[in-house]
Structure 1
Amino acid sequence: MDIPLPPWRQPSPTRARAARPPLTRDQIVRAALRIVAAEGLDAVSMRRVAAEFDTGASSLYAHVANKDELYQLMFDEICRDIPIPAPDPARWQEQIKELARSGYEAMVRHGDVAKAAMAQIPTGPHAMRVSDAMFGLLLGAGMDPTKAGWALDRIFLYIVADAYENSLYLQRFGDSPERVHEYFVEFTGQLRDYYESLPASHYPHLRAHGEALTSGDGRQRFEFGLDMLVDGLARLIPAAPASE
């Protein structure tokens, strides 16, 4: 028969607390991404993530070796849903651009998480799926594997750097793309006026072309750079033999 405990034997609040369900790696990564969205990548630490679960950092180490691995896991997670096009050699340039745009958008949606990929070679399963797809598009177009590998590296660096710079503008000048656009309009107007006020004897080209130098928004410039990179790869592909 069950009988109640006497008052002096009541369980302490600590012992009475229900056991927490064990953490999973996915939960840890998702919590870290929430911190990035709210506070930026530099706010992410093992201790800070553990606090999201009301526990100590030691409980995370069974799933994540250290902060560097957590950064890599976070970056890999944002690559999970990047769509991979079915290879079409006739459209290889446009397909690479589509894949690059999708990667760029995935990074931009997650604050400054692109910083986690700088000076790193992402080796998570989702990131490698994207890398393998882009590498395959280059190989399918007829590019030498070494040049295709270098091209993959340069395109990836361009995407990551642009996405990271975009996050810096968001941190400094507003919490929305609209606010950043307003800042650009204001700043580029001031920059144009400044260029046009420079002495022509020392800076003739900046003075004469201030309007051109400050034209276009961030997305237009991203697309221009992407075209410049990808379209330039065509010269690295051996020409097909002339038909008889």
Structure 2
Amino acid sequence: MTEPIPAPPWQTPKKPPPRQPLSQDLIVQVALRILDAEGLDALSMRRLAQELETGPASLYAHVANKDELLDLVYDTVLSEVEIPVPDPDRWPEQVKEYLRSLRTVFRSHRDLARVSISRIPLGPNGVVGMERTMALMRAGGLPDDIAAYAGDLLASFVTTETLDDAFPAGGTDPATPRAYAAQIRSYLTSLPVDRFPNLVHMAGPITSLDSERRFELGMEIIVRGLSTYARPAGQDSSAGSG
């Protein structure tokens, strides 16, 4: 291997590139990078400070605490969710498109579903997303109270399904969930059929690991249910559901 030729002693040595000034945006970007690579449990203010080559105290000039940091990370990611421009003629399919997009975003960022639990999306992107979601719900002719609750219900459904994709915990070995499901299925089918006829009969579907089918089926159940609340065009949507 050829050794590099040393620079002349009178030549000014190269300086390392200047470090990017600390800012809230930079902190959020690095926090999201840690979350994606290592998961929520690895993300701490100390770990973040190490990655940014600074002290934890420096972060608090830009972010109050870890909870606010997670609010900011969550809001940043919500900008990736695609919510269709409402078309009443395509309403059922548009709701499904929205849910698929939300699920894709949740699955593309490690532990984002955990971050979203009990977190109200009131940041800039979250508020825009809520407005578009409510517009989509109302385009289906849903009464106001049903439309408002449906927005929460849909988000909760995606969160739960995303968390279920990672259950049970036990590393990344794909055999682990299969073995666990097989144990449950074997147990259910071993129950006395005279006392538990439904569990024995339904052991297969109950322990199914076909997450894609479960998700599509769940969407269909929810959308069909919401459709029953639709009011004819022109009817007051602020009226209660009955």
TM-score normalized with structure 1 length: 0.81
Structure 1: how far apart are the matches of 2:74 and 2:67?
11
Aligned residue number for residue 220 of structure 1: 213
Cα–Cα, structure 1 residues 188 and 164, in superposed 2: closer, same or farther, change >3 Å? closer
Name which of 201, 206, 229 aligns with 2:194. 201
CA deviation string 1:211-242 (max 9, x = no partner):
3333351221122112111221011112469x
Q: Which amino acid aligns with 2:132?
A: A
Separation in 2, partners of 1:230, 1:203: 31
- What CA distance in whole angstroms lies between the structure 2 residues aligned with 1:125 and 1:76? 7
| Cα distance in 2 between the residues matched to 1:31 and 1:155 | 29
State the one-letter code of the partner of 1:101.
Answer: R
CA distance in 2, matches of 1:232, 1:209: 23
Please give the alpha-carbon distance, in whole angstroms, between the structure 1 residues aligned to 2:97 and 2:70.
Answer: 25
CA distance in 1, matches of 2:201, 2:103: 34
CA contact 1:107–1:113 (8 Å) conserved in 2 = yes
Q: CA RMSD in A?
A: 2.4
Where do 5+ consecutive residues of structure 1 fail to align? Answer: 1-15
Change (3 A) 1:124 1:168: farther
- Counterpart position of 1:49: 48
Contact 1:115 1:164 (8 Å CA) reproduced: yes
Q: Give the C-alpha shift of residue 158 in structure 1.
A: 1.3
Q: Which residue of 2 aligns with 1:77?
A: 76
Alignment of 1:1-244 (within 5 A): 20-169=19-168, 172-174=170-172, 179-180=173-174, 182-215=175-208, 217-239=210-232
CA distance in 1, matches of 2:34, 2:118: 22
Relative to the length of structure 2, the TM-score reads: 0.81
Which consecutive segments of 4 or more residues in structure 1 shift more than 6 A? 16-19
**Structure 1 Cα separation of the partners of residues 31 and 160 of structure 2:** 21
Secondary structure of 2:170 counterpart: helix
**1:194-213, Cα deviation, whole Å (9 max, x unpaired):** 22221223322222332333
- Write 1 or 2 for the structure with the bigger share of helix: 1
Q: Deviations over 1:58-78 (max 9, x none)?
A: 211222121111101111121
Q: Percent identity?
A: 37
State whether residues 39 and 111 of structure 2, in contact with CA within 8 Å, keep that contact through their aligned partners in structure 1. yes
Q: 1:10-37 CA distances to partner (integer Å, 9 max, x unpaired)?
A: xxxxxx9997442122221121112212
- Residues 120 and 61 (structure 1 numbering): CA distance in 2 closer, same or farther, change over 3 Å? same
Between the two structures, name the one with larger relative contact order (CA 8 Å, sep ≥ 6): 2
Cα pair distance change 1:93/1:18, threshold 3 Å: closer
Quote the Cα distance in structure 1 between the aligned partners of 2:105 and 2:214: 18
Amino acid at match of 1:22: P
Query: How big is each residue's C-alpha offset from its partner over 1:62-107, in whole Å with a ceiling of 9 and x where there is no partner?
Result: 2212111110111112112222322211111211111111111101
